[in-house]
Amino acid sequence: MAETLASIKNHVTTPLRVVEWKEPPPIVGNVGQKYGVYNKYNPLIESLKERPGQWAYCGVGDNRIGYSIAKRFPGVEATGRKRSDKQFDIYLRWADEQ
């Protein structure tokens, strides 16, 4: 019985599969650079870093755009303000250095 409990310590059995709990391996290379994701936003991020804590109006679009940029670049905060045409004004800022 003890061997059985020890062998399933890091596994959860579901009706369809066994889930193993472990950390993913490190990323090899820069996946974002390969697809131009980071290159496209680098000038914007550098501008935000020059004025930490100050909001920058970055255009009109879907509210998810700002949040996806903030997710890709730790240190960036995003918010949006709804317009009358179902679009959003997108604002970004670099968080204050503390």
Sign of CA dihedral 92, 94, 42, 28: negative
pLDDT tens profile 32-69: 555 555 667 888 888 999 999 999 998 888 878 888 88
* pTM score of the predicted model: 0.59
The answer to whether position 81 is within a domain reads: yes
The answer to whether position 60 is within a domain reads: yes
Residue 19, strand partner residues: 12
The answer to whether position 28 is within a domain reads: no
The residue segments making up the domain with residue 49 are 33-94
For residue 90 the two structure tokens come to 């997108």
Quote helix, strand, coil % in the chain, to nearest 5.
35, 25, 40
